[in-house]
Structure 1
Amino acid sequence: MSVTTATDTLLDGTHTVLTPEYVEFRFTLAGLYSRFLAWLVDAVIVLAISTGILMAINVVMMAAPGFASALGIVIYFLVDWGYAITLETVWSGRTVGKRVMSLRVIQESGVRIGFYHAALRNLARPVDRLPVFYLVGGISALASRSQQRLGDMLAGTLVVRERRLRVPSALGATGDEGLLADPLFVARVKRLSSEEREVVLTAALRREELRMEARLRLFAALGARLQDALAMEKPAHLSDEKWALLVAAALLPPKQKARSTPPRRATA
């Protein structure tokens, strides 16, 4: 699903994603202080890993300490890049430091990043670090309306503050839970693209934030799109919103599905 983006002013500290249905989703931009603290945590981890590797190399190459020192510098940069790129790719835009500070890297379109975006933003770090302590990157973020350092501008990414959104109890309680037990339906849902999954889950979690008109418009378009993507008709008794919530419920891990279902009262 294609989206266009619009960005609020720096003072607002938000990034707005405007869907084709003219429904807005707002993301809170991460400030420089929280990003610095996240980087500090990651830097300590990278330094510890690099030091451990370098100590092992020094033991093996005691006869050539100069070469070992030069190799240690190369190893540090490889670990630094590899750590950030790998974690941001497999951990949906987070590193350990970002998780501690409740931050996440996303695309400007509001969906999660992939390897391409993680690689681009992190390979640009040497430039952002110039001349020391990310001075270039900090100035770039202050000058940018979306608080992006050069690497983020290159990759088309943003660092946002995560909001802890609870899975609504209504998710899965759509009046047609039997469809969730249909292996064919679940298999088709699992084949949705990562972008389609992001849109469905975001709409399900943030629907209460939308005005009714925008909410109806969003789920009408989303419901029609899901019928095409799943190659199946929406059950006639389900509204577009309930249909989308049913798909979202099928995307949830089993534990979250169990939490969204009210416990049954024990009988004697």
Structure 2
Amino acid sequence: MTSPNAPLLDGSHNVLTPEYVEFRFTLAGLCSRFLAWGVDTLIVGVGCSAILLGLNMALAFFPGFASALSIVIYFLVDWGYGITLETVWSGQTVGKRLLSLRVIQESGVRIGFYHAALRNLARPVDRLPFLYLVGGVSALLSGSHQRLGDMLAGTIVVRERRLKVPSALGVPAEEGLLADSLFVSRAKKLTTEERDVLFSAALRRDELSLEARLRLFAALGARLQDVLAMDKPAHLSDEKWALLVATALLPSPSARGRGAGARMRPPAAP
């Protein structure tokens, strides 16, 4: 569900989880996306120029072939740049990273190669007839600020918040379990997506209503017991259990000291 906002500015996109917990993402407006595109276009242009300069001697003998090859090289570099970085950096290019933007699925989870490929391969259509006019009009008319490539891939572009890495998550009385190597090793076997969901719940729990908070951690606590193949200690609530697992995934105190001031992106919502 998307809140109506001026497409030139940031809007919002709400995701309702199966546990009926709602997460809100800030949509990137056209202004910030245009700036990110400008940075990426400059990088692609420099890359293409470097390649063509390297081929300059060979192209001098085939002047009629040079212009056609230049166009092919541009599209290959442009597609390769967008698809590769958005896949490796989970929805970011250099321009998006500088502007704190990220491409995610409409469901709120990170994108993969399939989504990055679809939205980037559709760029030539979005660029028509010039300067992304088709894509811009599409985003203006779309409630989620989506160009045609985003609609095809089922993606949105959001502005991500930067949160400080917490030194603890409020479970100081459980050092014994945190010192259990079996517990810690099983916690660290969680997949990247499972960690995203866990940290998202931990960092955003105070934003939820009490009812939504209880539902979310009840489902998350049961899921963690299955994944870790361990029963939750009877004296711990579902929320404390989830926070304990999240704490086991945090850097050690010495590592936190070396990385003081480091920041983390908010994980995608489940």
Q: Per the shorter chain, which TM-score range?
A: 0.7 to 0.9
The secondary structure found in structure 1 opposite 2:15 is strand
Cα distance per residue 1:204-248 (max 9 Å; x no partner): 111121122221221111111111122211122322112212222
- Identity rate, percent: 74
- Give the structure 1 partner of residue 38 of structure 2: 40
- Give the structure 2 partner of residue 107 of structure 1: 105
Are the structure 2 counterparts of residues 29 and 67 from structure 1 closer, same or farther at C-alpha, using a change threshold of 3 Å? same
Instruction: For residue 195 of structure 1, report the CA deviation from its aligned partner.
Output: 3.0
- Give the structure 1 partner of residue 4 of structure 2: 9
Cα distance per residue 1:127-177 (max 9 Å; x no partner): 111111111111111111111111111111110011112233432744324
Give distance in 2, aligned partners of 1:182 and 1:57: 60
- Give the structure 1 partner of residue 248 of structure 2: 250
- Range with greater deviation from structure 2 (205-214 or 18-27): 205-214
- Give the structure 2 partner of residue 152 of structure 1: 150
The secondary structure found in structure 2 opposite 1:176 is helix
Give distance in 2, aligned partners of 1:197 and 1:256: 22
Cα distance per residue 1:50-79 (max 9 Å; x no partner): 100110011344322332332121111111
Give distance in 1, aligned partners of 2:191 and 2:143: 30
Give distance in 2, aligned partners of 1:154 and 1:254: 42
Are the structure 2 counterparts of residues 100 and 145 from structure 1 closer, same or farther at C-alpha, using a change threshold of 3 Å? same
Normalization by structure 2: what TM-score?
Answer: 0.86
- Give the structure 2 partner of residue 91 of structure 1: 89
Give distance in 2, aligned partners of 1:97 and 1:255: 33
Instruction: For residue 253 of structure 1, report the CA deviation from its aligned partner.
Output: 4.8
Give distance in 1, aligned partners of 2:152 and 2:175: 44
Give distance in 1, aligned partners of 2:246 and 2:73: 43
Are the structure 2 counterparts of residues 86 and 187 from structure 1 closer, same or farther at C-alpha, using a change threshold of 3 Å? farther
Give distance in 1, aligned partners of 2:63 and 2:172: 67
Which residue of the other structure, out of 38, 54, 57, is the alignment partner of 2:55?
57
- Give the structure 1 partner of residue 228 of structure 2: 230
Are the structure 2 counterparts of residues 93 and 172 from structure 1 closer, same or farther at C-alpha, using a change threshold of 3 Å? farther
Cα distance per residue 1:192-213 (max 9 Å; x no partner): 3333222111111111211222
Gap regions ≥5 residues in structure 1:
1-5, 263-268
Normalization by structure 1: what TM-score?
Answer: 0.87
Cα distance per residue 1:39-98 (max 9 Å; x no partner): 000000000011001100113443223323321211111111111111111112111100
The secondary structure found in structure 2 opposite 1:238 is coil
Q: Over aligned residue pairs, what C-alpha RMSD do you find?
A: 2.3
Are the structure 2 counterparts of residues 59 and 179 from structure 1 closer, same or farther at C-alpha, using a change threshold of 3 Å? farther
Which residue of the other structure, out of 21, 26, 29, is the alignment partner of 2:24?
26
Q: For the Cα contact (< 8 Å) 1:174–1:245, is it kept in 2?
A: no
Give distance in 1, aligned partners of 2:99 and 2:254: 24
Are the structure 2 counterparts of residues 125 and 251 from structure 1 closer, same or farther at C-alpha, using a change threshold of 3 Å? farther
Q: For the Cα contact (< 8 Å) 1:249–1:257, is it kept in 2?
A: no
Matched, 1:213 2:211: yes
- Range with greater deviation from structure 2 (69-78 or 177-186): 177-186
Give distance in 2, aligned partners of 1:258 and 1:172: 16
Where do residues 162-241 of structure 1 align in structure 2 (5 Å cutoff)? 162-171=160-169, 173-241=171-239
- Give the structure 2 partner of residue 139 of structure 1: 137
Instruction: For residue 190 of structure 1, report the CA deviation from its aligned partner.
Output: 3.6
The secondary structure found in structure 1 opposite 2:104 is strand
Give distance in 1, aligned partners of 2:30 and 2:19: 33
